[in-house]
Structure 1
Amino acid sequence: MNLRSRPSFFAPLAAAALMSACATPGTPETSAASPATDDPIHRHALVRQAAPAPEWARLRMTLNEATRNTPGVTVGAGDAQGLKIEIPVADGFASGSTVIRPSLAAALDTIAPALASEAGVAIKVVGHTDSQGSEMVNLRLSIDRAEAVVAYLAGRGIAFERLTADGRGEADPLTSNATEEGRARNRRVELLLRAAR
């Protein structure tokens, strides 16, 4: 009798042993009585807990209180979509630089603790410049400055995945760029707060 041409008696046993060896040790089998989601150790891999919905009115009060003694910072009235925080950066960066100066750092330090505790809030940092210089250079500079603010806030306890950066350059001025006062006002960073998805 040719043993090679016959199906092996041990093949099904070997397959069962291999499948058993590949199973995660200590993982209970899922059943109707005990679904995998009841397993506290493995639940995080199956279902991500939703962050609590932001309470915009309470957060606005907290931010207004935190920034009460911080010159120039304004917290918008807000709506059902979220809030906007406007931070002047006329002295927040040196001309053409992305290095955060002490005045901007102080403003961000007053805001960061309130935002760090709000897991349900996503923060979009938008940089703005005045119209001095090249439009493309200003656009790149505004993005780089927004990214610097994101890095700063992440270093103050705000989860990095909640932060995004964007820049508008000179495209959205608050006032005319014809005067130094107007240009100073247009140089700003906005934090757009929305519900995290």
Structure 2
Amino acid sequence: MRTLAVLGAALACGISSLGAQRAHQFEFGAFGSFTRYDKVFNLDNQIGGGGRLGYFFTNVVSAELDAGYQSPNPKTGSASPTLAHGSASLVLNFGTARNLFYILGGYSRLDFEKTAPYRFTDNAVHGAIGDRTFLGDRAALRFEVRGFYTPNTGFAGGDWAGHVIGSLGLSVFTRSGPAADADHDGVPDRQDACPDTPVGATTDARGCPSDSDRDGVYDGLDQCPGTPAGARVNSKGCPADTDGDGVLDGLDQCPSTPTGASVDAKGCPADADGDGVLDGLDQCPSTPAGAVVDPAGCPLDADKDGVPDGLDKCPNTPPGAEVDDVGCQRFRDSDGDGVDDAKDRCPGTTPGTRVDAAGCGVIFETGKSALKPESFTVLDIVAQSLNANPEIRIEIAGYTDNTGSTTTNLRLSQARADAVRAYLGSKGVAPGRMVTKGYGATNPIAPNTTAAGRTQNRRVELHQLP
């Protein structure tokens, strides 16, 4: 009865794993048995035998019929009965492809034949546990322990009865079902060295998955089967390129390259002109070494002289000035007045004429006090300067050459000084800030023996007063 309790507990347990792929197969078997009878029968333990036929509806559920025969000896008396029994069982199978465990339960009919008191038939229920140890795909050794319970035995003087049969036999399975292949890789479980291969993976003859590009994703599941060695891949086996530079992550030694930059085979950006702006982003890829560039890689030129900042040794060259290779102004003086052409606002000055910083002079014709048009430029500059500095007072000194008498020259030089004051006054300079005086032919700045010298001496000088 202890065995029946164990069987009942086993039947109540859930089945947690599937057996071999046996669905729709038949099982034929023969077995030898050893029976321990209920003491009420007064029979010795006995060896017997039998056979069985089973059918697998699924990998887990099967049904079977079996029959057995024993001829036990009574412990007392001379009558030796025979016992034939037949059973119908529902079987639950679980385990592995090599060991298929099972539990079963069902109905049994026990037929005792001989003379009284061993001439009766009992109806019984039974339960069993057992194991099939496979010798190949189609044959297995089967061991079982089965208990029988008869609630109302026909044996004289008996009420209920129970006995236990242990059996060992051989089972043969038909080919009606496919070979066991739990991981569905096409390699039978008994031959499968890697029984847990993921579904869809390509396997070798041993049932082990292959990975041709060694990226960790099996062939058959790998959507990018030619991944270079060392590249990082996603779950589909495809390599990633986080910075989009064409060099795969895992191989990319510079994984954060800016978008659009040209890179070398290692994934690192190049800067051919060394200006700090990467090739592919550099809109001026041939910038001279040392030049200061903008974010687009193009050189800056603050003074617009054609020499880039960073190479320009004279970065504040006046606009329009001609410069040398290092950005410094070349000195040119076409009219010989000592003022660079780039700054000369009166480029056609008569040779020998005294000029101001702008290259212009105040020029008069011989014997006249009228200003020549060439003088307007310099006087306009003087007017602008005086208007910008209202605290300054000046003396306007007029001069002549030595042509004419002293009296005439004094009068003429005074008239020339007055003409300059009148012009400056017309440009907004207050007359009270200007004093005029004629000095005649005194203080020549050039020889009066030549026309050029006399031209320089016919002049007006401006002096700042204290």
Determine the structure 1 residue equivalent to 2:370. 99
CA deviation after TM superposition for structure 1 residue 132, in Å: 0.9
Determine the structure 1 residue equivalent to 2:463. 192
Q: Distance in 1 between matches of 2:366 and 2:432?
A: 29
Instruction: Write out aligned runs for 1:32-47 (5 A).
Output: none
Whether 1:74 and 2:356 are equivalent positions in the alignment is yes
| Counterpart among 380, 386, 407 of residue 109 in structure 1 | 380
Which one-letter code corresponds to 1:190 in the other structure? E
Q: Distance in 1 between matches of 2:376 and 2:443?
A: 24
Whether 1:169 and 2:451 are equivalent positions in the alignment is no
Q: Distance in 1 between matches of 2:398 and 2:361?
A: 10
Higher relative contact order structure (alpha carbons within 8 Å, sequence separation ≥ 6): 1
Q: Distance in 2 between matches of 1:101 and 1:108?
A: 11
Q: Distance in 1 between matches of 2:421 and 2:450?
A: 30
| Counterpart among 396, 410, 427 of residue 125 in structure 1 | 396
Determine the structure 2 residue equivalent to 1:59. none
Which one-letter code corresponds to 1:127 in the other structure? G
CA deviation after TM superposition for structure 1 residue 68, in Å: 4.2
| Counterpart among 401, 409, 420 of residue 138 in structure 1 | 409
Whether the 8 Å contact between 1:86 and 1:191 is mirrored in structure 2 is no
The alignment-based identity, stated in percent, is 36
Q: Distance in 1 between matches of 2:400 and 2:384?
A: 26
Q: Distance in 1 between matches of 2:360 and 2:398?
A: 10
Higher mean C-alpha displacement, 142-151 vs 177-186: 177-186
Q: Distance in 2 between matches of 1:113 and 1:149?
A: 14
CA RMSD of aligned residues (A): 2.4
Whether 1:160 and 2:442 are equivalent positions in the alignment is no
Change (3 A) 1:172 1:178: same
- Superposed CA offset, 1:57-78 (max 9, x none): xxxxxxx9xx742354235xxx
The higher radius of gyration belongs to: 2
Q: Distance in 2 between matches of 1:108 and 1:150?
A: 10
Change (3 A) 1:130 1:73: same
CA deviation after TM superposition for structure 1 residue 87, in Å: 6.6
Alignment size in residue pairs: 119
Which one-letter code corresponds to 2:345 in the other structure? N
CA deviation after TM superposition for structure 1 residue 106, in Å: 2.1
Secondary structure, in 3 states, of the residue corresponding to 1:158?
Answer: coil
Q: Distance in 2 between matches of 1:100 and 1:150?
A: 11
Q: Distance in 2 between matches of 1:94 and 1:191?
A: 19
CA deviation after TM superposition for structure 1 residue 86, in Å: 10
Which one-letter code corresponds to 1:111 in the other structure? V
Q: Which structure dedicates a bigger proportion of its chain to strand?
A: 2
Secondary structure, in 3 states, of the residue corresponding to 2:439?
Answer: strand
